[in-house]
Amino acid sequence: MAEQRAYEVVFIVDPSTPDEDLTRLRENLQNVVTEQGGRLVRNEVMGRRQLAYRIGRANEGVYVLFEVEGTGREIAEMERRMRVNDQVLRYLTVRVDEDRQRAEKFKAKRARKASKRPLAAGAAAGGGQGAAGRDDEDEA
């Protein structure tokens, strides 16, 4: 059995696409993911936004974000379907599981270092009062 990986897929849909067609497109892509054995973690329409450059005749597009957990087969099929669909202007898939693991390691490392540091609460409180005292002197 292949390893489960996490992917983020962002695709831009033509803004002239009716809402019903956008919903149907999202449902079809969701079905592709589930039929191929993947799991859709997040499905978010980020809204209509200005494009960095013109794509065809479009200056703006509707951005949609999918977070998918799977083996990669579902990503390949989803990208194939987006490639042949005229409503999808662009798409980008990024594998994010390794980045998330690395971030968790750094977070744990920072927490360990913070727990080893002596608490400086008394010093911080004293420093805060001293600064306030100086402000009072400036006002007087």
pLDDT digits (tens, 9 = 90+) for 104-133: 788 888 888 888 877 755 555 555 555 555
Count of domains for the chain: 1
CB 32 within 8 A of CB 85: no
Contacts of 68 (CB under 8 A, 6+ apart): 6, 7, 8, 9, 33, 38, 39, 40, 41, 74, 75, 78
This prediction has a pTM of 0.70
CA angle 85, 29, 32 (to 5 degrees): 115
**Residue 124: its pLDDT value, please?**
53
9 in a structural domain: yes
In a domain, 13, yes or no: yes
Q: Evaluate whether residue 80 is within a structural domain.
A: yes
Residue 75 lies in a domain: yes
Q: 136 in a domain, yes or no?
A: no
**Spatial separation of the C-alpha atoms in residues 31 and 38, rounded to whole Å:** 10
CATH of the domain at 94: 3.30.70.60
Does some domain include residue 76? yes
Residue 78 included in any domain: yes
Domain membership of residue 11 as a residue range? 5-100
